Amino acid sequence: MSARRLYIFGGIGLIAVGLMFGDIFAVFILHQNASRQGEALLAACRAVAAGDRGTVNEIFARLGSMLEDRGTKVDAHVHMIDAGYLALLLALVQPYVAISRPAKKLMASLFIVGGVFLPVGIFLIHYVGLAYSPFRAIGWASVLADSAGFLLIVVLIAQAWGFWKYLGSRQLAEPELPTDGGMPRRALLTGGTILVLLGFVHGAYYAGALLYQHEKMETAILQRMIGASTNGNLELAATEVNNFGNLAGARAVNLAAHSHIIEFGLLAMLLSFVQPFVFVSEKWKRRWVKLLLGGSVILPVFVLLELKLGLLAGGIADVGGLMVLVSLIGMLVGILRYSGTLDVRESLPPESAL
């Protein structure tokens, strides 16, 4: 398997596993975790009202652990998918990276290893903690994640160096990917660009109109919550806990919609380039593309609608994620079936291959 195919196969695999993990997390953990956080805050309010400092500290230790649990799972999901995107990108730029074929394969293998261990390390942070760690604040799982991240950086620097060498020689290291102008490629490229643009516009709107407002609201809600608890008004405190949960939900869905629509747009654009490696009939290619673009719209739109429609929208959003996942697995199967014609071309000098 050539370095380029390794990047493509590993990249799509990382994205598929990252999406699957995200879907499982959203369905089985996210909402339950949010309701446990609300219960813990309410218990903290009761402890404040009773003047029980010991219980307050106990609750916050538990709350910190809950937040770490949620944060590391979100980070593992995001980093696995992003490593997959970078792998697909590196597959695209391989013709412009002037380093030897074995070195390229080694770099590709190291990148995939780093892309796997980075999210695995992040996921384990909550469970491993500081056990047997010689450091004050960093546990062994963090060390694993940071080492894997460093590996990715080393590979990226090597690729940049290879590109610098290419600029000196102006000789393609291997043939560029064929520019097959069929419907799947055009649909993915156009659809992807539109999704990215929509994501940017939504992000700019959120940052300009809502971000600062939400930040101010959070402190104000906490202030009222603590004040009400101190005065023994637990009914008002419970209302503020509810407001706090709603605000956290509003922030989360806006950020999730923004990041998912842009990431799916990028994914569509990236997948448009690797279509020559997807060895399935044109009819099936079109089906996978429609499924992917459909899911890429459904997920972020229904994530945003969660505030209005509640869990129903959440369920539909999860189906959107599943659609993207199924389409990715379909393409992955196509890449597995691919016989290696383009790899043979890569082993020839670029001029003769073209």
Q: Supply angle C-alpha 26, 32, 34, rounded to 5.
A: 90
In angstroms, rounded to a whole number, what is the distance separating the alpha carbons of residues 163 and 177?
Answer: 17
48 binds other proteins (CB under 8 A): yes
| CB 338 within 8 Å of CB 279 | yes
Compute the least distance from the CB of residue 50 to other proteins, in Å: 8
Q: What is the DSSP letter of 151?
A: H
Question: Judged by CB, which is closer to other proteins: 120, or 222?
Answer: 222
Compute the least distance from the CB of residue 172 to other proteins, in Å: 5
How many beta carbons lie within 10 A of that of residue 328, not counting itself? Answer: 24
Structure tokens at 187: 């649909």
44 binds other proteins (CB under 8 A): yes
* Contact range with other proteins by CB under 8 A, out of 27-35, 45-53, 239-247, 305-313: 45-53
Compute the least distance from the CB of residue 217 to other proteins, in Å: 11
Binding mask 131-160 for other proteins (x = CB under 8 A): ------xx---x--xx--xx-xx--xx-xx
| CB 68 within 8 Å of CB 125 | yes
110 binds other proteins (CB under 8 A): no
Question: Judged by CB, which is closer to other proteins: 273, or 277?
Answer: 273
Question: Judged by CB, which is closer to other proteins: 149, or 314?
Answer: 149
Question: Judged by CB, which is closer to other proteins: 269, or 299?
Answer: 269
Which residue blocks in 173-310 are alpha helix, DSSP H?
Answer: 183-205, 212-230, 234-273, 282-309
In angstroms, rounded to a whole number, what is the distance separating the alpha carbons of residues 142 and 153?
Answer: 16
Q: How many residues bind other proteins (CB under 8 A)?
A: 69
In angstroms, rounded to a whole number, what is the distance separating the alpha carbons of residues 274 and 282?
Answer: 14
60 binds other proteins (CB under 8 A): yes
Map the footprint of other proteins across residues 66-95, applying CB under 8 A. 67-68, 78, 82, 85-86, 89, 92-93
Map the footprint of other proteins across residues 224-263, applying CB under 8 A. 226, 229-230, 259, 262-263
Question: Judged by CB, which is closer to other proteins: 39, or 215?
Answer: 215
311 binds other proteins (CB under 8 A): no
Query: 346: closest CA among 134, 166, 183, 178?
Result: 178
349 binds other proteins (CB under 8 A): no
| CB 262 within 8 Å of CB 203 | yes
In angstroms, rounded to a whole number, what is the distance separating the alpha carbons of residues 72 and 84?
Answer: 18
- What is the widest separation between alpha-carbon atoms in the chain? 82
In angstroms, rounded to a whole number, what is the distance separating the alpha carbons of residues 56 and 226?
Answer: 12
200 binds other proteins (CB under 8 A): yes
Which of 194, 248, 250, 326 contacts other proteins by CB under 8 A?
Answer: 194
Instruction: Return the exposure string of 121-147: e unless at least 16 CB atoms fall within 10 Å of the residue's CB, then b.
Output: bbbbbbebeeeeeeeeeebbbbebbee
| CB 86 within 8 Å of CB 263 | no
Which of 64, 182, 310, 349 contacts other proteins by CB under 8 A?
Answer: 64
Query: 290: closest CA among 331, 337, 332, 334?
Result: 331
Which of 219, 281, 339, 352 contacts other proteins by CB under 8 A?
Answer: 219
SS3 130: coil
Question: Judged by CB, which is closer to other proteins: 24, or 156?
Answer: 156
163 binds other proteins (CB under 8 A): yes
Q: Which residues bind other proteins (CB under 8 A)?
A: 44, 47-48, 50-53, 56-57, 60-61, 63-64, 67-68, 78, 82, 85-86, 89, 92-93, 96, 137-138, 142, 145-146, 149-150, 152-153, 156-157, 159-160, 163-164, 167, 170-172, 189-190, 193-194, 196-197, 200-201, 203-204, 207, 215, 218-219, 222-223, 226, 229-230, 259, 262-263, 266, 269-270, 273, 350
